[in-house]
Homo-oligomer: A and B are copies of this chain.
C-alpha cells in the first residue's frame, strides 16, 4: 500500500485491554500517565500515547469534514468527492478507509452495476461528531478574535523590525 511499504506502524498490535500502562514501559524518569485520579486531568504527553495517535487521525486534513458531511446523511463516494472542495480521489479513499477501520464510518457496497457504495456514520461516528462539532463552533465563534490577535501580533512584529 502507498509508495513504499509503510502501513500504520505499531498500532495494530499491543492493544490488549488498554488503559493499564504497565510498569514503566519505556525509558525515562517517572511522571504522570493517566492522571484521571481527580481534578488534575493531564493526558499523556508521551509519544506512544494512544490517545495522541487517535487524535492525530481525527484531526487530519479531511476527516472532520467528511464526518460533518456524513452526519447530515448517507453519502456515496462521488458525492463526497464533489462536496469536499479540493480533496483528491486518493485522499478521500484513504480518509474513508481510516474512518471505517476506526469504526467511525460504515461502508455498504450494493452489488449493482455500476457499483454503488454508501458511506454512513456509525453510532460512534455520530457521537464523535457531536464533540468535534463543538470545536468547530468554537473556532467559528472566535475567528474574528483570532484574526484580530494575528493582526496585532504581526503589527507588533513589524514595528520591532523597523527599529
Contacts and interface: CB of A to CB of B under 8 A. Distances in A.
Contacts of A84: 45
Contacts of A50: 143, 147
A101 B153 contact: yes
Nearest to A102: B146
Given A42-B69, A42-B72, A55-B64, A103 B139 contact: no
A119 to B, nearest CB: 15
Given A50-B143, A64-B55, A143-B50, A150 B41 contact: no
Interface string A147-163: 11111111000000000
A52 to B, nearest CB: 8
Contacts of A140: 34, 36, 43, 51
10 contacts: A11-B150, A18-B144, A19-B143, A43-B68, A43-B136, A55-B59, A59-B59, A59-B60, A101-B153, A127-B142
Interface of A: 11-12, 15, 17-19, 28, 31, 34, 36, 40-43, 45-47, 50-52, 54-56, 58-61, 64-65, 68-69, 72, 83-86, 100-103, 124, 127-128, 131-136, 138-140, 142-154
